[in-house]
């Protein structure tokens, strides 16, 4: 019969009673505090911090969704009560004006939300606490981007969708002709079809369009042409067939510029305008976020963004400053004006719908690659500036 080993031997044995090695304790859970990638909980926390500012949220909703709802709602009521005195709620001109207003006010509101998101930790006095927890400062800044965009972009999408629905289902019927200086020209004509129409409607070209708009070879249409050179196919003395074609070339440019404003926007143009609006609002938020993080003061940052949108950008977009053309093109608002969809520009008569008076560049446009570079540069550049200031600010 074997003797029981002493207690000291059992205590020294690495295993249990059966000699098996002890179980390895599980590794501690990873907290992701040092990661530069913001966690979902951090993003949702930033969303709640922004939404807690009730005054800012009410103003944001009213100026983005409330404005088109009020305007279109009143137009719907007036048209329903007295359709003879008030036209349909959705017209191409109203659609263009509302899109311009949404772009102007949306940029300012998005910039205000961005400056608020960039300064909320400082104004609430919790920045020191967040830093002492060991969480990455870069992650704190990056979390603000999806948090803010998840608030402003859906609101603009809702407002634009309402405008599109009213324009499509409570608007005017699609017209069959476009009025150019009092002359009705059929819509959707390409250049060859327009020339063919002009040949068969020389009286309209000569009496309605020619004397008022087009001049050929230094004189009005029909001037200097002899009776022997007049084409019998024109049907009206005074215009040769060659002159009709020259007039058609010039009139087609005017026709194509006026036609979009007279037609209801097609679906593909609505998509382009919607994407352009979302980009405009996204730029406003990103620049406001970077500027707010850099300055650390919400009021000053908001005032600077308002001045940029309604004072600096309209001047630089419409007034050519000698020896400073490239400097004017560096402003992101000038690049966004050049990117403005053609239908929106034509329907608004070449001017913006907001109080800033934007929409038509008064300076030579920049190349496409330069326009893209300016937009991307502002997005990336202000993000880098804001993140750098967040990482170097004293706690």
179 backbone dihedrals φ, ψ, rounded to 5° = -85, 115
**Running DSSP on this structure, what letter comes out for residue 64?**
I
Is 8 a member of any domain?
no
One domain for residues 387 and 349: yes
One domain for residues 315 and 168: yes
One domain for residues 161 and 307: yes
214-247 pLDDT, tens digit each: 433 333 444 333 333 334 344 444 556 666 667 6
One domain for residues 133 and 269: yes
Residue 225's pLDDT is: 39
Is 326 a member of any domain?
yes
One domain for residues 208 and 226: yes
Residue 10's pLDDT is: 46
Is 23 a member of any domain?
no
Residue 380's pLDDT is: 96
Residue 219's pLDDT is: 37
One domain for residues 164 and 294: yes
Domain boundary among 262, 284, 302: 262
219 backbone dihedrals φ, ψ, rounded to 5° = -140, 170
Run of H or E including 54? helix 54-61
Residue 196's pLDDT is: 78
One domain for residues 245 and 122: no
Is 142 a member of any domain?
yes
Is 12 a member of any domain?
no
One domain for residues 164 and 193: no
10-residue stretch averages of pLDDT, the chain, 395 residues long:
51 51 55 72 89 92 93 93 87 89 94 92 76 81 94 96 92 75 76 77 63 39 38 47 68 71 81 95 96 92 94 90 90 92 70 42 88 96 94 81
What six digits make up the tokens of 375?
């937009």
One domain for residues 207 and 272: no
Domain boundary among 209, 232, 262: 262
Number of domains in the chain: 2
The DSSP string of 284-341 is HHHHHHHHHHHH--HHHHHHHHHHIIIIIHHHHHHS--TT-HHHHHTSHHHHHHHHS-
Give the number of residues written for the chain.
Answer: 395
One domain for residues 308 and 352: yes
One domain for residues 319 and 383: yes
Domain housing 120: 40-173+265-392
- The pTM of this model reads 0.77
One domain for residues 257 and 272: no
Residue 342's pLDDT is: 79
Domain boundary among 235, 262, 289: 262
Is 32 a member of any domain?
no
What is the Cα–Cα distance from 131 to 6, expressed in whole angstroms? Answer: 55
């Amino acid at each position: 019969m074997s003797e029981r080993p002493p207690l000291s031997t059992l205590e020294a044995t690495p295993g249990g009673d059966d000699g098996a090695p002890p179980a390895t304790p599980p590794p501690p859970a990873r907290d992701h505090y040092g990661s530069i990638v913001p966690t979902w909980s951090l993003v949702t926390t930033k969303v709640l911090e922004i939404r807690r500012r009730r005054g800012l949220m009410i103003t944001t909703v009213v100026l983005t969704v409330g404005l088109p709802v009020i305007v279109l709602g009143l137009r719907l009521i007036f048209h329903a009560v007295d359709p003879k005195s008030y036209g349909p709620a959705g017209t191409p001109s109203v659609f263009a004006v509302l899109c311009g207003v949404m772009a102007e006010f949306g940029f300012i509101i998005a910039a205000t939300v961005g400056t608020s998101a960039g300064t909320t930790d400082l104004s609430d006095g919790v920045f020191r606490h967040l830093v002492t927890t060991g969480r990455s400062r870069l992650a704190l800044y990056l979390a603000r981007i999806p948090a803010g965009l998840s608030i402003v972009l859906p609101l603009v999408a809702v407002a634009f969708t309402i405008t599109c629905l009213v324009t499509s289902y409570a608007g005017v019927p699609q017209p069959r002709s476009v009025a150019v200086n009092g002359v009705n020209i059929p819509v959707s004509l390409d250049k060859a079809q327009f020339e063919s129409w002009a040949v068969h409607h020389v009286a309209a070209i000569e009496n309605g369009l020619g004397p008022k708009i087009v001049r050929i070879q230094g004189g009005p249409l029909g001037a200097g042409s002899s009776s022997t050179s007049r084409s019998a196919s024109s049907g009206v003395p005074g215009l040769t067939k060659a002159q009709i074609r020259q007039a058609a070339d010039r009139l087609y440019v005017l026709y194509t510029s006026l036609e979009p404003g007279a037609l209801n926007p097609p679906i593909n143009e609505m998509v382009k305008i919607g994407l352009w609006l979302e980009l405009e609002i996204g730029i406003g938020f990103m620049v406001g976020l970077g500027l707010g993080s850099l300055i650390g003061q919400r009021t000053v940052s908001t005032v600077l963004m308002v001045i940029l949108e309604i004072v600096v950008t309209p001047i630089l977009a419409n007034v050519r400053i000698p020896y400073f053309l490239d400097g004017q093109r560096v402003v992101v608002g000038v690049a966004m004006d050049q990117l403005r969809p053609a239908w929106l520009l034509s329907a608004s008569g070449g001017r913006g719908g907001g109080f800033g008076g934007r929409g038509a560049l008064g300076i030579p446009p920049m190349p496409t690659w330069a326009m893209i570079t300016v937009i991307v540069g502002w997005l990336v550049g202000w993000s880098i500036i804001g993140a750098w200031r967040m990482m170097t600010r004293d706690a």
